[in-house]
Amino acid sequence: MADSLKGKCAVITGSTSGIGLGMARALAAQGVHVMINGFGDAAAIEDVRAGIEKEFGVKARYNGADISKPDQVEALIKATNSELGSIDILINNAGIQFTSAVDAFPLDKWDAIISTNLSSAFYGIKYALPFMRAKKWGRIISTASVHGLVASPQKAAYVAAKHGIIGLTKVVGLETAGSGITCNAICPGWVLTPLVQKQIDAIAAENKISVEAAKEKLVAEKQPSKQFVTPEELGAYLVFLCSDAATQITGSAMTMDGGWTAQ
Ligand code: NAD
| pTM of this structure | 0.97
Class of domain 2-190+230-262: alpha beta
Count of other CB atoms within 10 angstroms of residue 56: 19
Which of 263, 161, 255 shows the shortest CA–CA distance to 222? 263
Confidence tier at 4 by pLDDT (50, 70, 90): confident
Least Cα distance to 261 among 185, 189, 207 occurs for 189
CA distance 77 to 57: 22
Q: Per DSSP, what are the bridge partners of residue 37?
A: 63
Pairing between β-strand 9-12 and β-strand 60-63 as defined by DSSP bridges: unpaired
- Write the pLDDT tens digit of every residue in 5-26: 999 999 999 999 999 999 999 9
Q: For residue 207, count CB atoms less than 10 angstroms from its CB and return exposed for 0-12, middle for 13-18, buried for 19 or more.
A: exposed
pLDDT digits (tens, 9 = 90+) for 118-165: 999 999 999 999 999 999 999 999 999 999 999 999 999 999 999 999
Q: How far is residue 122's CA from residue 78's CA, in Å, rounded to a whole number? A: 16
Q: How far is the CA of 117 from the centre of ligand 1 (A)?
A: 9
Mean pLDDT of 40-57: 98
Q: Verify whether residue 158 is a known catalytic residue.
A: yes
Average pLDDT over residues 232-249: 97
Query: Which sequence spans correspond to the domains of the chain?
Result: 2-190+230-262, 192-228
CB 203, CB 190: distance < 8 Å: no
Ligand 1 centroid, distance to 94 Cα (angstroms): 4
Cβ of 16 below 6 Å from ligand 1: yes
The minimum-distance atom of ligand 1 relative to the CA of 68 is: 18
